[in-house]
Amino acid sequence: MTDYSSLTIQSAISGLRKKDFTSVELTKFFIEKIQKNNELNCFITKTFEIALKKAAESDERILKNSNRQLEGIPIGMKDLFCTNGVKTTAGSKILENFVPFYESTVSKNLWDSGAVMLGKTNMDEFAMGSANTTSFFGNVLNPLKPKSDKNKRLVPGGSSGGSASAVASGLCLAATGSDTGGSIRQPASFCGLVGLKPTYGRCSRFGMIAFASSLDQAGPITKSVEDAALMLQCMASSDEKDSTSSKKKIPNFLDFKKFNLKGKKIGIPKEYSIKGLNENIEKVWKNGTEWFKSEGAEIVEISLPYTEFALPTYYIIAPAEASANLARYDGIRYGFRSNEPNINSLYSKTRAIGFGKEVKRRLMIGTYVLSAGYYDAYYLKALKVRKLISNDFEKAFKSCDLILTPTTPNVAFPIGEKQTDPIEMYLNDVLTVPASLAGLPAISVSAGFNNEMLPIGLQVIGKPFDEISVLAAGSLIERFREF
């Protein structure tokens, strides 16, 4: 069988058009590869029958020249997007057997564009995590290994770890992710991929299992920037089923190719040179600024003074919203139920058994910061700081067009590390969370390696709804990096 693992969406589309292979052939290849790589644990549910049926339909359309944008392209769907008739768990025991009877808007948009679903990808429980170690269905392995110790297994990042690992190991051509505080960008960075978090509101949240509604945003994890633009094109829509979905006109994201970065100002926020930033990452960041300079862009130092408060703010707002959103899992309406003699113990037992440790920690924090006695001191304060963080960006974008930073303070770490101290795990998100709080579009593109040949991602943050410049900057990084 031909090896299709290194195809991008773009090259697969052209292969399908030229009839070098069919979608059924592609799909069969990925099915076999997924089965051979079960130990990576990328998929919670495999939907091979659906995939083969859809692929055959796509092949017919291709024969009739009625291709849609992603016709016949096999992808992975994060198990946070409700899929009609297909189990959707959000990585949790409490939804272990939940089969939705409706389709999320993002997944519907992708199927309407001809994409083929290979399965539902593994994730941190309710998207809470940075290592894909909190899933009820077990952790996901990063296919990459450190150069000096090929027996060491690393985390793929989280929470979209199943999606990232699946794309990096060539089990599908692309996958969806969701990003609340970094869950698309961080795993993309850990797995050497492209991860795009669009502006808040660009993709509908309808049918996405909610974690923190004012932050959650869907986006693609892909091998190339062009693929990310293509995926976003199909995922984005304005949707009356989500009151926060934007009515702004959706541009042709592939126009990033025509976007000239010459003369653009690239802001380097001094506050992102945080203590503990790995020196290899520092170096790649420096290289990045040189690449932009040689393209004729101007590098300017900027200040985002409230950066240090972003992480604590996020870890108040996200758990607060989660505690409200996850109140619906009570054992009555749907999902897991612990059968108990009375209603109170039914509620509490269901939730005690149904949720994992990290989710329970967040629900307790969230309930605490929203409680009558502490609302003003924590939640309200956090909302105010969130506004200040947003203002920081607004001011900064008066003197620059884009912001260039590292994606993460460290590279992929061994499974088991950072597990005992939650704060250490939360520190993973220190560089991704600010853009989330401000609702800004941001991309992570693999830009270099450390001494162990582990990938390092650079992040580009843009103005609201300016995904095109963000993609253009991502593509510059892609062109200049030396691999």
CB 402, min distance to ligand GLN, A? 22
- Provide DSSP, 79-111: TTB-BTTB---TT-GGGTT---SS--HHHHHHH
| Cβ distance to ligand GLN smaller for residue 318 or 369 | 318
Residue 395 is given by DSSP the state H
CB 58, min distance to ligand GLN, A? 31
Give the phi and the psi of residue 174 in degrees, each rounded to 5: -165, 170
Positive or negative, the CA dihedral 4, 455, 433, 315 is positive
| Cβ distance to ligand GLN smaller for residue 143 or 366 | 366
Q: Which of 23, 159, 446, 475 is catalytic?
A: 159
Residue 309 is given by DSSP the state G
CA distance 267 to 400: 5
Q: Which of 28, 33, 54, 78 is catalytic?
A: 78
Active site annotation includes 92: no
| Cβ distance to ligand GLN smaller for residue 129 or 354 | 129
| Cβ distance to ligand GLN smaller for residue 88 or 183 | 183
CB 456, min distance to ligand GLN, A? 18
458 beta partners: 406, 445
CA distance 218 to 81: 9
In sequence order, which residues have a C-beta less than 8 Å from that of residue 271 and are 6 or more positions away? 303, 304, 305, 307, 308
CB 183, min distance to ligand GLN, A? 3
CB 18, min distance to ligand GLN, A? 39
| Cβ distance to ligand GLN smaller for residue 128 or 304 | 128
- Residues lying near ligand GLN in the complex (CB under 6 A) are found at 127-130, 159, 179-183, 211, 318, 429
Active site annotation includes 28: no
Give, for 467, the enclosing helix (H) or strand (E): helix 467-480
Contact 91/122 with Cβ under 8 angstroms?
Answer: yes
117 beta partners: 75
Q: Which of 113, 163, 183, 204 is catalytic?
A: 183
Active site residues: 78, 159, 183
